Homo-oligomer: A and B are copies of this chain.
Amino acid sequence: MKARKTATRRLRAPSLPAAALHRAEQLCTKAGERLTPARINAYAELLTQKNPISAYELLALMEQREGRKLAPLTVYRQLDFLVRVGLVHKLTSAQAYVACEHPDHPHDTLYLVCSSCGKADELESERVAELLSKAARSRGFKPGKAIVEVPGLCQTCRQPPDGADGIGVAGAR
C-alpha cells in the first residue's frame, strides 16, 4: 500500500560525476562496505561544496534537495561511513567535513585551514606521516591515521599587502 508515486517533489540527486561514483564503488568493494543511494546522495552533496561544511549544514542541503525533513542521525551515519571508507575527511578543529581530494589510497588528514574564509587546502606529506609514525612507535604507541590541521590565513585572505597581521592567529613561525 505504498505504490503511489506522489508527483516527484524535487528529488533530483546532485548527480555524482560518473568518475567519482566509479572510484567510490571500487573503494567500497575493496573495503567490504555497501554504497547505498542515500550514501551516494550525501557524498554527492558534499562534493558540490567548495569549502568544508558542518553536519547540520549538510543536513539542511539534503533536506532542501530531497524536499523532506531528515534526522541529524541520518547525516551523521552517512558521514561516519564516508569518513570510514576514506572518501571524506573530518576537520575536527572546525567540526566540519570535506571531500578528500585523492581518495585512491588511505592517508592522514592534513589540511591548511583558513581562519578567515574557511577554505581547506588538502596536502599530502609522506615525511610528516613518517615522522609521526616513527615518534609514536618509539614510545610503544600504535598509531592510527594522524590528524594534522594548520590554522592560518590563505593567500587570498592575506590581501592587505603590507606586513599587517590579520586574524588573531598566534605564533606564526
Contacts and interface: CB of A to CB of B under 8 A. Distances in A.
Nearest to A145: B171
Interface in A114-173: 114-115, 121, 123, 125, 127-129, 131-133, 135-136, 139-155, 158, 166-173
A30 to B, nearest CB: 13
A110 to B, nearest CB: 9
B152 A141 contact: yes
A93 interface: yes
Contacts of A127: 131
A35 interface: no
Number of copies: 2
A101 to B, nearest CB: 14
Contacts of A173: 129, 133, 143
B123 A142 contact: no
Given A128-B128, A129-B173, A153-B142, A123 B135 contact: yes
Given A142-B169, A142-B172, A125 B135 contact: yes
Contacts of A92: 92-93, 149
Contact of A136 (B84, B150, B170): B150
B146 A121 contact: no
A106 interface: yes
Contact of A143 (B106, B112, B136, B143): B112
Interface of A: 84, 92-93, 106, 112, 114-115, 121, 123, 125, 127-129, 131-133, 135-136, 139-155, 158, 166-173
Question: What are the 7 A-B residue pairs with the smallest beta carbon separation, nearest first?
Answer: A140-B155, A144-B169, A143-B152, A144-B167, A142-B153, A144-B151, A92-B93
